[in-house]
Amino acid sequence: MKTGVIGLGAMGAGMALNLHRHGHLHRLYNRTAFRAEGLAAETGVARAMSMEELAADCELILISVSADQDVIDVVERIAPSVTADTIVVDTSTVSSETARKTAAILARSKADFLDAPVSGGVEGAAAGSLAMMVGGSAAVFARAHETLTAIAARIEHIGPTGSGQACKAVNQIMVAGINQAVTDALAFGACLGLNMDKVIEVIARGAAANWFLDHRGKTMLAGDYEKGFKVKLHHKDLLICTEMARNVNLPLPIIEATLRQYRRLMAEGQGEKDISALYRLKKTQE
């Protein structure tokens, strides 16, 4: 399917490259032009001069932006240019409500929509091995599926529009808790003076095994929080989660504590760092 990508950050760029490897990438657009220019040069795929131009020329439009309002802005812009044959797939992490609004805006042009947030980090985006959780109609999911296999190793249709984002909220709560678990445990081991390289090697093979320890354990011990998932973005996601949790009367004290710690990191100018920067807060509590 002729696919266009709007939003070429670390996640969007990785997905665009994998779509290109599978012969699907047809157009590129990014608000900041130089990112699109770089990828256009690398792939030979034409950069679109506007979102509207991209939308008019693609069968599948994949969006990868940061915040709820960004998604709404993009679909308001492209809605007049899409047709009944267009599928818009939003891989951003936003609220279920934003997903439903987005679908409604596109429905005016009779275009189809899938909310399809992903997990697996920038590594997963680069490798094409993301996990993708999809909300929308089963028929639209079936039409888009083959193209999406270029970017995700696991694609699950969760339910109607918005349920992909609800599933991602489950994921983001789990990631926050695991961040707490790993940073608490490694700060504890470091305070005891253990050889932490050896500790990580062995506990990563037992019942504490997890993706975050494998991918962020050694970097956090080294004080390297550059690559990964930004504190300010996880903070935004967790605000969505706590609002959803309040609606079902579920207390999430660990998530509330995580939000407070992330705000402390952001106040210290660490909002652009990977979420494993939580380790620094704990280590300096000593």
Question: Annotated catalytic sites, by residue?
Answer: 168
Residues 255-274 that bind a second copy (CB under 8 A): 255, 257
Q: Tell me if 254 contacts a second copy by CB under 8 A.
A: yes
CA distance 43 to 131: 24
CA-to-CA dists, residue 154 to 7, 147, 214, angstroms: 22, 13, 20
- In the block, tokens 């509330």 appear at 256
CA distance 37 to 57: 18
Closest distance of CB 112 from a second copy, Å? 21
Residues 144-203 that bind a second copy (CB under 8 A): 153-159, 163, 166-167, 169-171, 173-178, 180-182, 184-189, 191-192, 194-195, 198-199, 201-203
Closest distance of CB 232 from a second copy, Å? 17
Closest distance of CB 85 from a second copy, Å? 28
Count of residues that interact with a second copy, criterion CB under 8 A: 73
Report whether 156 contacts 132 (CB < 8 A).
yes
**Which residues, listed in sequence order, are joined to residue 156 by a DSSP beta bridge?**
133
- Site track for a second copy across 128-147, x = CB under 8 A: --xxxx--------------
Position 119: which residue type?
A: S
Closest distance of CB 243 from a second copy, Å? 12
- 12-15 contact pairs (CB < 8 A, 24+): 12/62, 12/64, 12/65, 12/91, 12/125, 13/39, 13/125, 14/122, 14/124, 14/125, 14/126, 14/127, 14/128, 14/151, 15/62, 15/64, 15/91, 15/118, 15/125, 15/130, 15/151
Considering the complex, state which of residue 120 and residue 136 has its C-beta at the smaller distance from a second copy.
120
Single residue of 34, 222, 249, 284 touching a second copy by CB under 8 A: 249
Determine the length of the chain. Answer: 286
Residues 25-54 that bind a second copy (CB under 8 A): none
Residues 207-236 that bind a second copy (CB under 8 A): 207-213, 215, 229
Single residue of 139, 248, 260, 284 touching a second copy by CB under 8 A: 248
Considering the complex, state which of residue 26 and residue 282 has its C-beta at the smaller distance from a second copy.
282
Residues 80-119 that bind a second copy (CB under 8 A): 118-119
Residues 6+ apart with CB under 8 A from 126: 14, 17
Single residue of 14, 121, 128, 136 touching a second copy by CB under 8 A: 121
Closest distance of CB 274 from a second copy, Å? 11
